[in-house]
Amino acid sequence: MTRPAPAPIVHRHPVAKRRALRAIALFEAAKGLAALIATVGLLNLMHRDVRQLAIELIGRFGLHPEGHYPSILLHYAGLLPGANVHLIVMAAVGYIAVRLAEAYGLWCDRAWAEWLGALSGGLYVPFELHHLLYRPSLTTAAVLAGNLLVVAVLGHQLWLRRRH
């Protein structure tokens, strides 16, 4: 007795699926490009007096140096000169490569990209929950909700692929 051929993957709303995957792909590509821009900016700052630049920036905007955000800026400006630049660049290049590969794969409707997106997005959820619990804000809640939505959409796509 022969088995019937497997049914083709049929999605109820193929246009909506494509739009959702492409929206996520554009978002991931934007994160990769933002990381690239930040890395180039960081490399540009490595040969400058970052603490003095931070003080000038705080003064230009008329901020109080002991305020919450200016003090954070000054703290990290003091750490930058001693940072391991090679490690930072290697981590940034890895992050950028993963985001852009995921964006490409989602744009081209590849299952591996759905796995990559769901797993990498899912890794952030515990940290975002922790941050929301200890430093609640609307921004933190929005980031968590957005990430959960992406993971849910990609997880649903994977479930549909497996089902068919």
Q: What is the mean pLDDT of the chain?
A: 89
Taking only the tens place, the pLDDT of each residue in 103-124 is 999 999 999 999 999 999 999 9
Average pLDDT over residues 58-82: 87
Nearest CA-CA partner of 34 in 85, 102, 91, 99: 99
Could you give the residue ranges of the DSSP H alpha helices within 46-109?
50-60, 68-79, 85-107
Determine the pLDDT at residue 118: 96
Q: What is the dihedral of CA 61, 63, 67, 68, to 10 degrees?
A: -10
How far from 129 is each of 68, 117, 118, CA to CA, in Å?
23, 18, 17
| Range from 6-10, 24-28, 41-45, 101-105 carrying the lowest mean pLDDT | 6-10
Determine the pLDDT at residue 2: 59
